[in-house]
A = this chain, B = another copy of it.
Amino acid sequence: MEVLTIHEAAETTGWTPRMLRYIERIGLIEPARTKSGYRQYGAGDLQRLRTLRELLADHEIGLGDVAFALRLRRDEALEGAVDSWLEAEPQRPEAVSADEWLRWEQEKHARIIAALTTNEPMETAA
């Protein structure tokens, strides 16, 4: 047996067919299709569906959260913007003047751009 239909995949992973379609729609797992459009879940898809369940349960997060993490990873501009915003976090308000903060902000952007163009630490190629 090479690939499973949506009902079979649902059976072996604990999701419902409905949810498998939903998970696909939000971009998390997009199985191959037959010529006529039937979904074909391969071994990798099944494993990912199972680990997805664990991920959600273990950390009390939702599908939307994982979808957002995926979006972050695919949209570098977004990731940069979010990271950049979060970066300023640990500042205690009293500790900085508006001026210092602005300089920090500008340097931060520079740092992030530098990091983006310098680091490519984890190539996905085997």
Contact = CB atoms under 8 A, between A and B. Distances in A.
A78 interface: yes
A55 B85 contact: yes
Interface residues of A, number: 58
* Stoichiometry, copies per complex: 2
A48 to B, nearest CB: 6
B58 A82 contact: no
For chain A, what secondary structure do more than half of its interface residues adopt (helix, strand, loop), or is it mixed? helix
A126 B100 CA distance: 11
A12 interface: no
Nearest to A60: B78
Interface string A48-73: 10011001001101000110111011
A59 B43 contact: no
7 tightest A-B CB contacts, nearest first: A42-B93, A43-B98, A44-B93, A65-B68, A69-B82, A44-B91, A59-B78
